[in-house]
A and B are shown apart, each in its own frame.
Chain A
Amino acid sequence: MASASTAAASAVILGDPAPPTPVRRRLGQAVLVIGSAIVLLLLVAPGLIAHVSPTVTGDDILRPPGGAHWFGTDQLGRDMFSRTIYGARPVLAASLLGVVLATVAGVALGVAAGVAPRWLNSVIMRIIDVLLALPVLLIALILIATAGSGVRSIVIAIGVAFTPGFARIVEASVRTLRSVEYVQAARVFGSTGTRTSVRHLIPNLMTEVVVLGTSAVGWAVLTATTLSFLGLGVQLPQPDWGSDLAAGATNLATSWWLSTFPGLAITLTILAANFIGDYLMTALDPRDGLRLSQNLTTMLTGRRPGNGRPPAGAA
């Protein structure tokens, strides 16, 4: 009963993963692989998908979607399909890098607070409480007010704004892990705080951190596009989903396609990110506390190392 309620508690924090059926597992693997491939392609070589430059203007202005221009053209005759494809780069770069930054900082801070003496722990955690008391978007806006607009500022803004939440969760896990036998044993054998952290705590936190980071990508995309929607990201005429959506809003009544396609792109990205996050959560199941390498094996082969239990729904 007790374990069921803890499972429910973490389900509330991390979301409510559906039970992994074979179809869901295949779908999850497919979305993960295809999604990563698309993200990589959009980041590295968007020109392979869209052959027209996103900034080149033309005489064909405000043309509705059709054969020549799949997503139509804007008031300067720029191809919206190309702008939507190229517009992925600043959004994906800002949100992914922001999450990586927040993950690294959050883990460092959380582990440091978790192994620190009691008084230092209180100081760090009170500071984190203050930062958590401020809405994420407000922190991001404050940082952009100080650092100026641009993709780099958005990366920093997301990184800093997401750090306190990560640090709080990691700190809680470290405190639980500290009482686990092998960590206690390491300390009895004279392992220093740093060595214990690097050799024992961090590797055992990795699964949780990966799940946490993946679940945050959807929110990061939302935050990044909100900021660029406000004109604080990439400056026109460079393409960006958020700023293109805002720019199209003025012509909404006559040219619906200008805002709709960047908006759909954002929605699809968040949808895919959340789906992958949910999938990784069920597939890796951080509550089992296995190391990431073991969990990845489980996820990819559908087989748990060691215990010999046949995985649910294996073909």
Chain B
Amino acid sequence: MLAYVLRRLAAAVPVVFGITIVAFLLIHLVPGDPAKILLFGTNATPAQLANLRRQLGLEDPLWRQYFSFISQLLHGDLGTSYLTQNSVAHEILSRTPSTLELTGAAMVVAVVIGVPLGMLGGAFPNSLADRAARAVSFLGVAVPYFFLALLLVLLFSVRLHWLPAIDNGSVTGLILPAVSLGWGYAAILTRLVRGRLIEEYRSEYVKSARARGCTEWRVLLRHALRNSSIPAITTIGLQFGNILTGAAITEVIFGRPGLGSFLATAISNKNIPVVQGAVVVIGIGYVLINLIVDLIVGAVDPRTRAAGLA
């Protein structure tokens, strides 16, 4: 297991390295001089501009700029925001918990809705329940989460007054954003679990379990579902990045003070240090989650360790 953990860690290193390169190059890909963007509207003299460029290290060769970017990064320094002159690392860190809360809640919604629906469909294929579950998941993939969010607000906040439309810091304020974001991923999970279960039910070990006199519940829970859980866990891990960015959009709709609204304003303001910081944080967060998923899968299913798959 240790060798497996080390191998997965080693595989993550070049990806993290690549993410930092993408984030670093961003400042050079954006058309326009960062110093000019920074001093926009201040009537800066060319001398002041040149001074600032030197301060920002923009005159140095590219490799040296990257080197200082990395060394700052390793010290937890993501630069300062063009707009507020605050530390980007601090601004991002103060907003991360809210985004992670929504991402986690959406994942819970996806699993709580998606897995039982998939089990229902997989255990009774082509039954009425399966058809209903398939219709729900087909719709779930098609309805965009930002539209679902508005429909849910219209129903539960405007008409029924059950739940708040705007985040109020309490758990009730989390329900609508989490459901609107999690629903689409529930649909993906339903499809996946259903397909895997049908496949598993055809396998030899299910036949032998039945022959040994296992109850259908035991066959479903202990055998078929357990083997279907691995692709499901992998899929949730792979979807984490999408849920995270989706959470960012959902935040904008529900007025939650998270990473997303921060990133969206930064993009329209060309506030590059903030965009860089968000890219690094989201990218590394995604790599970490996938690493954890790989380790869980490796622990659940020893076969993936040997083959180096997963």
Contact = CB atoms under 8 A, between A and B. Distances in A.
A252 interface: yes
Interface in A267-290: 267-268, 270-271, 274
B246 A252 contact: no
Interface stretch (A23-31, A131-139, A188-196): A131-139
Given A135-B241, A142-B22, A230-B252, A270 B141 contact: yes
Q: Looking at chain A, what size class is its interface with the partner chain?
A: 35 or more
Contacts of A229: 146, 249
B286 A133 contact: yes
A266 interface: yes
Interface string A231-243: 1100000000000
B30 interface: yes
B194 A12 contact: no
A217 to B, nearest CB: 12
Q: Looking at chain B, what size class is its interface with the partner chain?
A: 35 or more
Given A16-B195, A135-B245, A252-B158, A226 B139 contact: no
A252 B144 contact: no
B191 interface: yes
Given A12-B231, A138-B241, A130 B18 contact: yes
Contacts of B158: 252-253
A135 B150 contact: no
Given A130-B22, A145-B267, A16 B194 contact: yes
Contact of B30 (A134, A145, A218, A230): A145
Interface string B122-154: 000000000000000011011110110011011
Given A146-B26, A266-B144, A137 B242 contact: yes
Interface string B8-47: 0000001100110010001001110000000000000000
A5 B227 CA distance: 13
Interface in B221-260: 231, 241-242, 244-246, 248-249, 252-253
A96 to B, nearest CB: 17
A137 B245 contact: yes
Interface stretch (B74-82, B86-94, B105-113, B275-283): B275-283
Contacts of A267: 139, 142-144, 147
Chain B contact residues, majority secondary structure: helix
Contact of A135 (B31, B195, B199, B244): B244
Nearest to A141: B267
B263 interface: yes
A133 B19 contact: yes
Given A16-B191, A135-B245, A270-B141, A252 B15 contact: no
B195 A245 contact: no
B57 to A, nearest CB: 20
Interface in A98-146: 126-127, 129-131, 133-138, 141-142, 144-146
B275 A142 contact: yes
Contacts of A16: 191, 194-195
B264 interface: yes
Contacts of B147: 245, 259, 263, 266-267
19 contacts: A12-B196, A16-B191, A133-B241, A134-B241, A135-B241, A136-B242, A138-B245, A144-B267, A145-B30, A145-B266, A218-B142, A252-B153, A256-B154, A259-B150, A260-B151, A263-B144, A263-B150, A271-B142, A274-B141
Given A127-B18, A134-B282, A145-B270, 16 more contacts: A12-B192, A16-B194, A133-B283, A133-B287, A138-B245, A142-B275, A145-B30, A146-B26, A146-B30, A146-B31, A229-B249, A249-B253, A263-B151, A267-B147, A270-B141, A271-B139
